[in-house]
Amino acid sequence: MSIIKLLGVSISGEHIYLVYDFVSGSDLSLCLRNPRNPDFTVLSTWMSRMQIATDVAHGLDYIHNTAGLSIDMVHKHLKSSGIIVTEPSYNAKICHFGAAELCGGTREDDRARPPELTSERQVEGVRGYMSPEFKATGIATQKSDVYAFGVVILELLTGKEPETYKFDKGSKNYKRLSIIETAREAVEEGGSGGEGVDMRLRRWVDKRLKDSFPVEVAEKLTRVALQCVQVDPDNRPNMNWVAGKISKLYLASRKWSDKFKVPTEISVSLGPR
């Protein structure tokens, strides 16, 4: 199971306390971007990242299509810092399952609410992971979860944060850089200077993988992620379809790894460095 188990709930006045199973490991955000050593990552192989992508895809598919019984369950807070990477197999587990339903903020929750949403409700999501309609309404849906999942996949591919800001000397303002935009530039046809998709992808994918990854699989995974982050929620796929696609890409990656005898066992620790 790729989800951290919710053990119980305690209510005290206006506060709700959720108790989850303890899982040893580190969050995905820290595994990808350790501030103490930004040039190092424990996820230094392609297969380690494909394992995480597969685990998270199936975990979110379970939440959407199995766990909710007669209602459309949503996660609402999917992000890299809410995914635990466990040792020694580097499997991934999704945190905070059930928080949206127990604490409010789902579509079913909001049907009974007036259309005027407070500013507080509109910023309950996480910067960089919120879909356009989630930002506009504050209402979480399965399609907004799919959007957040697409962002997580792009993080796995690049190792970068969803959004960064770079100072532009010309305008003397900070310019927002999005991995969604850079992903589109990497796989779009007819790149600048006649540069092919393969070359652009190799420059875009995390350098710490040392160019050791199946480019064709990486391109397909990028395109799946970009489908997940479509502006129109109706154009985004459902998680059942996404999980199936990523499972096939995992198998293709495994064949590539076996063919080239790429080491998949890593002896390093997730602990602070």
Residues 233-271: pLDDT tens digits? 999 999 999 999 999 999 999 999 999 876 655 545 555
56 pLDDT higher than 50: yes
Number of domains in the chain: 1
What is the structure's pLDDT at 104?
Answer: 58
Quick check: is 267 in a domain?
no
Tokens of 175: 């310019």
113 pLDDT higher than 60: no
User: Which pLDDT band, with edges at 50, 70 and 90, does 69 fall under?
Assistant: low
Residues 6 or more apart whose CB falls under 8 angstroms from that of 114 comprise: none
What average pLDDT does the segment 91-105 reach? 79
Quick check: is 268 in a domain?
no
Quick check: is 252 in a domain?
yes
Q: Distance between CA atoms of 52 and 133, rounded to whole angstroms?
A: 27
Domain residue limits at 166: 6-260
Quick check: is 265 in a domain?
no
Quick check: is 91 in a domain?
yes
Q: CATH number for the domain including 204? A: 1.10.510.10
Amino acid identity of residue 84, one-letter, is: I
Contact 63, 73 (CB under 8 A): yes
What is the structure's pLDDT at 116?
Answer: 46
Quick check: is 140 in a domain?
yes
Quick check: is 269 in a domain?
no
Model confidence, pTM = 0.86
Q: Distance between CA atoms of 231 and 229, rounded to whole angstroms?
A: 6
Quick check: is 271 in a domain?
no
120 pLDDT higher than 90: no
More confident site: 164 or 61: 61
